[in-house]
């Protein structure tokens, strides 16, 4: 077992005497190693948590007090737990200045008397470290075998989590891809005092979307965090809370659990893929009007479908990251009746209750930066119409307006629907004969026509707005009629030209 300075002092074989440091915490800390050196500054070869033994050649009588103070300070700064000075070799007794400096600066000082071999002390500490390493190796192998056996049980994921907390004496918490804690049959729950900070760390880790691990100190716990799944397709995060930092054996055990948990979650993807195929089939039934069959099929697997009227949201599957689909599937599983999601060809289709689900859905889609079209509320039996409406709304969505609702388009009136249907392309073709005629005044003629129509075909008001004589305006309108092959005495031709100018971006003079 690891040895402390206190253990060495209690071993009569070494004939050690505590000179300075009674009650110091350093007496009971485990020694990482024991070194011997008479160098004026041995710290480059030392590591924190060690004991230094010296014959004191560098501390012979006559050495300045400043040197002794600096020597002690260097050992303290290097994390050395204590200094052992041999007597009866160079010094008959421990130098008074060394005692004073150790007492003043707080370094444990022991006397190594009667020519006790340094090597005996070093070997004793080394043997203790070796025994501890062997014990930890045996513990690790036993724990690894227990974890492997747990993974073969029916509820493998829950079993390995329980085995982990049993072996480490810790608490374990598993979070899903949405950052919410998964209910697991573990013996120790995450303390409330750490829940908020751990939750924030999990949310940040999932938001990054890449495999990552980390440690945080919260209250009295040391929490190890590790994401599960593959980069860009994270399945969750495992949190392990212990009262002290994990040693290498503990880290290895946690790493094994993470690997097994990741494998278990990835294996579940085969089932998830089958469920996605079933969702696609249900969607086709719904679009075909077979609502009763679809509802009976969905209920034992996912629960009830969203209550009608429903909204259908459509986005291009190529634009939807895998993380979005995973999030929507988790929401659908966790809240039956709130959401239905399925792939259909190159599209991702999401159906939510029309009265309350659209806002939450749009917020989720916005987080993933996808553009979406939503239908107006519709009954299940009109889902095919809702799909067409959402497709029309999607055509109007872009990065500046990432979510468009069809009922908002309808609020724009017939012109809004015409614009969505591609009226701008038609307008360009209608005006093309004039614009491509080579006339340098083509745009002037179009503006004149737009201004005339804006004044309801009244010549004098339009001419005044343009700053020309009404005969000049009549000549311009005649040129427009000739170029476009229309008769503006006819209402239908006037309406067609007005629409073409409106969608073609020609503004009248106000």
Q: Residue 165: give its domain's CATH number.
A: 3.30.450.30
- Using the 3D structure, point to which of 412, 440, 466 is the last residue of a domain: 412
Are 337 and 453 within one domain? no
In a shared domain, residues 181 and 259 = yes
Rounded to whole angstroms, the Cα distance separating 108 from 76 reads 10
Which of 412, 444, 477 is the endpoint of a domain? Answer: 412
Overall number of domains in the chain: 4
pLDDT of residue 57: 93
Is 105 found in the same domain as 15?
A: yes
Query: What was the pLDDT predicted at 265?
Result: 63
Please check whether residue 281 lies inside any domain of the structure: no
Asked if residue 133 belongs to a domain, the reply is no
Tell whether 430 and 408 lie within a shared domain. no
> Smallest Cα–Cα separation from 58: which of 26, 98, 4, 88?
98
pLDDT at 200: 87
Q: Is residue 508 in some structural domain?
A: no
Report which of 78, 70, 87, 95 is spatially closest to residue 20, judged by C-alpha positions: 95
In a domain, 146, yes or no: no
Rounded CA-CA distance 276/282 in Å is: 10
Whether 273 is in a domain gets the answer no
The answer to whether the CB of 439 falls within 8 A of the CB of 448 is no
Q: Are residues 248 and 201 in the same domain?
A: yes
The CB-based long-range contact list for 261-264 (8 Å cut-off, 24+ gap) reads: 261/157, 261/160, 261/161, 261/174, 261/228, 262/228, 262/229, 262/235, 264/151, 264/156, 264/157
pLDDT attached to residue 414: 47
User: Do 167 and 258 fall into the same domain?
Assistant: yes
Are 180 and 237 contained in the same domain?
yes
Q: Is residue 174 part of a domain?
A: yes
Mean pLDDT by 10 residues, the chain (510 residues): 90 93 94 94 94 94 91 96 94 94 96 92 92 80 76 68 78 76 69 83 82 80 80 75 78 78 63 76 89 86 85 78 71 78 86 77 77 89 88 80 78 51 65 80 85 86 87 87 85 81 75
Q: Beta-strand (E) ranges in 382-469?
A: 403-405
Strand-pair category, 108-112 with 221-230: unpaired
Query: Does one domain contain both 407 and 431?
Result: no
The pLDDT, as a whole number, for residue 321 is: 65
Full residue range of the structural domain in which residue 379 is found: 288-412
Please indicate, yes or no, whether residues 319 and 434 belong to a single structural domain of this protein: no
- What's the alpha-carbon Rg for the chain, to the nearest Å? 40
CATH of the domain at 318: 3.30.70
Output the pLDDT for position 391. Answer: 85
Domain closes at, from 412, 437, 469: 412
Quick one: 320 and 227 in the same domain?
no
Does residue 134 fall inside a structural domain?
A: no
pLDDT on residue 231: 65
């Amino acid at each position: 077992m690891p040895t402390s300075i206190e253990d060495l002092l209690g071993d009569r074989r070494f004939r050690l005497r505590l000179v300075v440091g009674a009650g110091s915490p350093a007496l009971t800390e485990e020694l990482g190693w024991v070194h011997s050196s008479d160098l004026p500054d041995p710290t480059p070869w030392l590591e924190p948590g060690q004991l230094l033994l010296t014959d004191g050649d560098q501390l012979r009588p006559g050495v300045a007090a400043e040197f002794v103070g600096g020597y002690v300070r260097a050992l303290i700064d290097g994390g050395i737990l204590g200094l052992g000075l041999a007597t009866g070799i160079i010094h008959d007794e421990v130098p008074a200045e060394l005692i004073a400096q150790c007492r003043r600066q707080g370094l444990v000082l022991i006397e190594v008397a009667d020519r006790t071999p340094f090597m005996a002390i070093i070997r004793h500490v080394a043997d203790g470290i070796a025994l501890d390493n062997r014990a930890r190796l045996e513990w690790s192998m036993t724990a690894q075998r227990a974890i492997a056996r747990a993974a073969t049980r029916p509820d493998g994921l829950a079993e390995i989590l329980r085995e982990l907390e049993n072996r480490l004496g810790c608490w374990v918490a598993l979070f899903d891809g949405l950052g919410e804690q998964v209910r697991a049959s573990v013996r120790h729950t995450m303390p409330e005092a750490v829940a908020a900070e751990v939750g924030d760390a999990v949310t940040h880790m999932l938001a990054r979307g890449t495999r990552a691990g980390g440690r945080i100190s919260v209250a009295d716990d040391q929490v190890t965090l590790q994401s599960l799944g593959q980069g860009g397709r994270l399945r969750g995060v495992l949190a392990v809370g212990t009262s002290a930092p994990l040693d290498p054996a503990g880290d290895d055990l946690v790493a094994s659990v993470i690997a097994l948990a990741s494998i278990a979650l990835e294996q579940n993807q085969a089932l998830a893929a089958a469920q996605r195929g079933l969702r696609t089939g249900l969607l086709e039934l719904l679009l075909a009007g077979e609502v009763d069959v679809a509802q009976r099929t969905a209920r034992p697997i996912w629960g009830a479908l969203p209550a009608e009227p429903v909204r259908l949201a459509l986005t291009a599957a190529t634009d939807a990251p895998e993380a979005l689909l995973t999030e929507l599937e988790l929401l659908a599983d966790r809240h039956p009746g709130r959401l239905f999601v399925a792939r259909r060809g190159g599209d991702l289709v999401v159906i939510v209750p029309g009265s309350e689900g659209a806002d939450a859905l749009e917020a989720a889609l916005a987080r993933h930066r996808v553009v979406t079209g939503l239908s107006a509320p519709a009954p299940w039996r009109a889902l095919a119409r809702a799909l067409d409406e959402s497709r029309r709304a999607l055509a109007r969505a872009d990065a500046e307006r990432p979510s468009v609702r069809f009922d908002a388009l309808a609020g724009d009136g017939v012109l809004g629907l015409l614009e969505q249907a591609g009226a701008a392309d038609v307008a360009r073709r209608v005006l093309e004969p004039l614009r491509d005629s080579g006339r340098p005044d083509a745009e002037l003629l179009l503006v004149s026509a737009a201004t005339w129509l804006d004044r309801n075909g009244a010549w004098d008001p339009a001419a005044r707005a343009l700053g020309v004589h009404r005969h000049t305006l009549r000549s311009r309108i005649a040129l427009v009629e000739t170029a476009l092959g229309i008769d503006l005495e006819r209402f239908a031709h006037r309406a067609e030209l007005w629409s073409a100018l409106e969608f073609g971006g020609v503004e009248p003079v106000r």
